[in-house]
Chain A
Amino acid sequence: MRRYRWFVVPALGVVMVILGFLVFTLKDALVYFRTPTEVAESAAEGRVRLGGQVVPGTIEESPGGVAFDVTDGTTTLTVAHTGAPQQLFRAGIGVVVEGTWDGAVFHSDHMMVKHDEQYRTEDGGTYHPGGYPTGDSG
């Protein structure tokens, strides 16, 4: 049964290497969505996920969908979404949309609403979607 120890040390080593790989190398691949700044800087490519906050006053119903602006505080992109918006979709909320960027408009056909870590009563504190959605905030 002593030989079992010879297995434990390399096994631990392998686990550490995998963890290190996950944390450092795959950091970018594990990012669930891109910010408007990142999408605007990138060349038009395949399907991407774009995440940001819906700019109040920009929501317009369009035939078969809805159009609105999404911002990360630095860059604002216009999204043309096909399909019904999510139940909780509204001005100021975080959204993640999936689709393609043609250099001017982001064409989305799949929308998810992102809730942040703040929970406010209706008559309680003000809802601050502050710093959204840099992703590397604490």
Chain B
Amino acid sequence: MRTGRTLEVGAVTTMAGALVLSLAVGEEQTMGNLARILFVHVPAAWLAYLAFVITLLGSALYLIRKDLRWDRLAASSAEVGVFFTALTIALGMIWGKPTWGVWWTWDARLVLTAILLFVYLGYLALRRSIPDRVSRARRSAWLGMVAVVQIPIVHFSVLWWRTLHQPPTVLRPGEMQMDPPFRAALFASLFAFTVVYAALLRRRIEVAQLDDLAEEAAASAERRVAGAAVTAPGVPETAPPADTGEARHRPGAAPFLAASTLVAGALVTASQSSSLSPWGWVAYAFGATYASMAVYAIWLAARQCSRAGVAG
């Protein structure tokens, strides 16, 4: 618990520091203030990558060790990764409208990122569809290992194909084409977002542990009822547990919620006005980032509290 608290305080502090730096640097030559949006868009994309690589590691370790803790790591990281992928797309749209002139276009990078989101939503859906914990863990581990091939494809799409999206500035061969003040702000943001990821992941793993405990309790209660039925048929000695259905593993509605809120927000703004000032766009992007992170964190904490109640 102490480590978790430290992580969460650290996440808020580093985010505040990154925000100050992101707003303090000067304007970019071409984009002016709009360049600040990249200090949240790029870290969100980095964490989508990192989260799905952690899912790969958790999946592989589960298949080797057959320990459900690695499955919980893989599943939790995938959910947090879906959150960051949705955030990346939303922030990219908020940047794209004033810079390119369009919210969305069928460019290879954009389409592949959308596919990445849907494949990992499929991963979360697969987990919901398998009731047995062990076969759920095994099957989703295979998917978690196969799906990660998308990461290099998404990342290098801008080099392999001619796209509207610019090529990478940071994870690329050769010298970084970015002036030092922007680098400082970008790296501070990358660090801060990584701490946020760690804090969210930790929370999500705790929720997964409570889910597993509740599921185990429900399963053993079911066995007791079944055993009782064999020895004394027709005599319902113990009431069946009320929350058997409730104890089912429930991966996130939060990423869906966050993604749809952001997309809805983008669409509303699109219909209202496409002529915000550059600072208006920056405020929109940063506001969407902090709001969605807060919603996800609060939602995880709420789920943790309600689960802790169920598991006793």
A interface residues, Cβ below 8 angstroms from B: 1, 4, 8, 11-12, 15, 19, 22-23, 27, 30-33, 51, 86-88, 90, 93, 96, 111-125, 127, 133, 135-138
Contact = CB atoms under 8 A, between A and B. Distances in A.
Nearest to A27: B161
Contact of B100 (A1, A114, A123, A138): A114
B31 A88 contact: yes
B248 interface: no
Contacts, number: 114
Given A15-B146, A138-B172, A112 B179 contact: no
What is the interface residue range for chain B against chain A?
35 or more
B24 to A, nearest CB: 12
A22 B152 CA distance: 14
B177 A4 contact: no
A36 B25 CA distance: 36
A121 B166 contact: no
Interface of B: 25-31, 35, 38, 98-102, 105, 107-108, 135, 138-139, 142, 146, 149, 153, 159-164, 166-169, 172-174, 177-182
A87 B98 contact: yes
Nearest to B182: A119
B135 A1 contact: yes
A115 B146 contact: no
A124 B107 CA distance: 31
A120 B169 contact: no
A30 to B, nearest CB: 4
A22 B179 CA distance: 35
A135 B149 CA distance: 23
A15 B139 CA distance: 16
A32 B161 contact: yes
A124 B100 CA distance: 24
Given A8-B142, A87-B101, A111-B101, A118 B163 contact: no
A29 B168 CA distance: 22
Contacts of B167: 116-117, 137-138
B222 to A, nearest CB: 21
Given A90-B30, A117-B168, 15 more contacts: A4-B138, A12-B146, A23-B160, A27-B160, A27-B161, A30-B161, A32-B164, A88-B98, A112-B105, A117-B169, A118-B169, A121-B182, A127-B29, A127-B30, A138-B174
